[in-house]
Structure 1
Amino acid sequence: MMAVLRMETRDVLAKVKLVLCDVDGTLTIDRDTYNLHPEVVRYVRILEDGGVKVGLVSGNALPVLFGLAKYLGCSGGLAAENGSVILYGDEIIVTCPICGEVLKIADLVEKEVCDVAWRTWQDRYRLCDAAFKVKGSLSYDELAKVIDGVIKRLGYGDLIQVRSSGFAVHLIPKGCGKHLGALKLMELNGVNRGETLAIGDSVTDLELLQVVGVPVAVSNADEELKKVALIVTSKPSGEGFVELARSILRAKGLL
């Protein structure tokens, strides 16, 4: 529970200058909807007004994150496509070493899995990462196994990693991930690991949490993610983010 902060937790949160947030399942009402929790908007603004920058690190395409950040009022920058595409101010930085190749491979995969999956509409705006949605009764974990098998059979197993976020199955260049986006945003914001907090809900956030000083998982996160978290909220998804934001503000004497 985070309602009453232990002294050591309070001290850690008091140092936070940058909060990096996953979106789907973390800022939404739950892990089954795309609707933002209504209090998320309010607390992003309160954090920003209190001098804590908020950034978004997500598997979504850059235009989606840009629109969301614009209306939320986030100033900490964006890491889209699972960390492969960074936007800070007016500068776009691509961290993916095989930019464009993943989308070509995804075209081949699509032909093999068209009966059980379809490409997301966001792929037309992507540069590096590709994403598939379930068609039919498969779970996302099951679809990930199917697509991973196709990737290996086509001979691209050394280039592509396949991961399920619970909202989509992503094809990500090996060596890339949300951690690269987080590290770049930390550099651009001029903060160190101890001043950076990241919060997420799925295994796609694992590397993100591993590179920051204050890793946080929401209460309904994947168990693997909870194992690396310094803090696990007592509430799920967007409610968990609000709980965390209030704890940061209390630790800083702003609430």
Structure 2
Amino acid sequence: MALRDRVKKLKLLIMDIDGVLTDGKLYYTEHGETIKVFNVLDGIGIKLLQKMGITLAVISGRDSAPLITRLKELGVEEIYTGSYKKLEIYEKIKEKYSLKDEEIGFIGDDVVDIEVMKKVGFPVAVRNAVEEVRKVAVYITQRNGGEGALREVAELIHFLKND
């Protein structure tokens, strides 16, 4: 199926966090607190997708208060953190919104994302994703995770949906 056809069906976009919305690095303070860095470009990308009527969700194995705060600031509708059972969560979200696999996209970077990426209609890998993830993707971003990759995907979706 052509990329344009996949994108035109898109109603929900799910993202991993570490390595997709962040650079995948973990920064620790001297007190042992984790710091995550988010790119403003990705925040604008989220707003663009929401304006197009695309529901957004995140599924992340890691759980962190700053992460949840940032996602809530951006109005992300579905936030699932602290679980590596991504396929199980994916099925729950799909059922909640009564969607078909081909109406859902997923942006990932590591092997824990592959199960879900194989199910969705629009699997995306960030440029610095591991090779196994890149092989499953129908689109690989020009930007690395945490460096505006989501914004790039949002602009692609906007362009193809309005073409």
Query: What TM-score do the two structures reach when normalised by structure 1?
Result: 0.56
Q: CA RMSD in A?
A: 2.0
Q: Which residue of 2 aligns with 1:59?
A: 61
Q: How does 1:98-137 map to 2 (within 5 A)?
A: none
Counterpart residue type for residue 40 of structure 1: D
> Aligned with 1:45: secondary structure?
helix
Larger Rg: 1
Aligned to 2:44: 42
Give the aligned partner of residue 32 of structure 2.
none
8 Å contact from structure 1 (residues 79, 178) kept in 2: no
1:243 aligns with 2:152: yes
- 1:81 matched residue in structure 2: 82
Q: 1:219 touches 1:234 (CA, 8 Å); kept in 2?
A: yes
**Residue in 1 aligned with 2:12?**
18
The CA distance in 2 between the partners of 1:44 and 1:15, in whole Å, is: 18
Matched, 1:187 2:100: no
1:224 maps to which residue? Answer: 132
- 1:253 is aligned with what amino acid? N
Given that 2:126 and 2:145 are in contact with CA atoms closer than 8 Å, whether structure 1 keeps it comes out as yes
Contact 1:182 1:211 in 2 (8 A): no
- Aligned amino acid, residue 228 of structure 1: V
Q: % of aligned pairs identical? A: 32
Worse-matched range after superposition: 228-237 or 196-205? 228-237
Greater relative contact order (CA < 8 Å, ≥ 6 in sequence): 2
Matched, 1:209 2:135: no
1:54-108 CA-to-partner distances (Å, cap 9, x unmatched) read 1011012275554232111112x1222235xxxxxxxxxxxxxxxxxxxxxxxxx
Measured in 1, the distance between the counterparts of 2:2 and 2:119 equals 20
Aligned residue type for 1:199: I
Which blocks of at least 5 consecutive residues in structure 2 are unaligned? 27-35
Kept in 2: contact 1:193–1:211 (CA 8 A): yes
How many Å separate the matches in 2 of 1:32 and 1:8? 34
Q: Is the 8 A contact 2:45 2:152 kept in 1?
A: no
How many residues align structurally?
153
Query: Any unmatched runs of 5+ in structure 1?
Result: 1-6, 84-176
TM-score (norm 2): 0.85
Letter in 2 for 1:17: K
